[in-house]
Structure 1
Amino acid sequence: MAKFGELIRQARKDKGYSQRDLAKLLGLDFTYLSKLENDRADYAPKEEAIRALAHHLGLDEEELIFLAGRIPKQEEELLKEHYKDMPVLFRRMRENPEFARKVLREAMNNE
């Protein structure tokens, strides 16, 4: 499974950016970007920073947001609406990988 830091570091290198160059484009301190790339940041970046990272690095915004451990703002209401069902769903997916694959396959087929 990819890690947030590894993914953005590789994408940054693939695009030819130095940490300082990319940090400047994003309006971040380059030391914070370094911590993100090494999965040593004290906190996950804000959604806006993640979206900017995705934009500059050619990555999928929503996937990067989830990988960073955040939930996209547009999904927050859905989760709040179904907050009682979420623990059951996640527990079931964790306990039964085949169920998880079935749910994900079904979701992919409906897109």
Structure 2
Amino acid sequence: MSEFGDLLKSLRKDYKISQRKLAELVGIDFTYISKIESGAMDPPAEDKIIKMAEVFQVNPDQLLISAKKVPSELQKIITEHQDVPVFLRKASSFSSNQWERIRGIMNETPEDGEK
């Protein structure tokens, strides 16, 4: 199974939703749900994953990340800001201390950064 397939199956079981019902709510064939959960098929498109997140009342990013997909609004940021690709390339080598500092920066309000 894939990470996305495992997560999907777990959410479905937790919410007691059948593959048929989920497929109906999302607008895809129920056999596709079965194939996703077994790892035989790749995760669906972003819009379908977002619908699944709505059904399960979870953050869509959680499902998109487990599906190894970059949300479309982030794709726009990545392509519009030249520093973002550089940051992403270097991110894999950051230490836990560096990540902690980055989280601190992300949690600052704009006024904090200007002081």
Give TM class, smaller chain.
0.7 to 0.9
**2 CA distance for matches of 1:52 and 1:110?**
31
**2 CA distance for matches of 1:94 and 1:5?**
25
Letter in 2 for 1:75: L
Q: 3-state SS of the aligned residue for 2:65?
A: helix
Shift, 1:78, TM fit: 0.8
**2 CA distance for matches of 1:8 and 1:104?**
28
Q: TM-score, normalising length from structure 1? A: 0.77
Corresponding residue of 2:113: none
**1 CA distance for matches of 2:92 and 2:32?**
32
List 4+ stretches of structure 1 deviating above 4 A. Answer: none
Q: 3-state SS of the aligned residue for 2:43?
A: coil
Corresponding residue of 1:94: 92
Larger Rg: 2
Corresponding residue of 2:27: 27
Q: 1:105 to 1:11 in 2, by over 3 A?
A: farther
User: Number of paired residues?
Assistant: 107
Instruction: Give ranges in structure 1 of 5+ residues lacking alignment.
Output: none
Corresponding residue of 2:71: 72
Name whichever of 92-101 and 46-55 sits farther off. Answer: 92-101
On the 8 A contact 1:94/1:100 being kept in 2, the answer is no
**2 CA distance for matches of 1:85 and 1:29?**
37
Instruction: Give ranges in structure 2 of 5+ residues lacking alignment.
Output: 110-115
What's the % identity of the aligned pairs?
Answer: 30
Corresponding residue of 1:63: 62
Corresponding residue of 2:37: 37
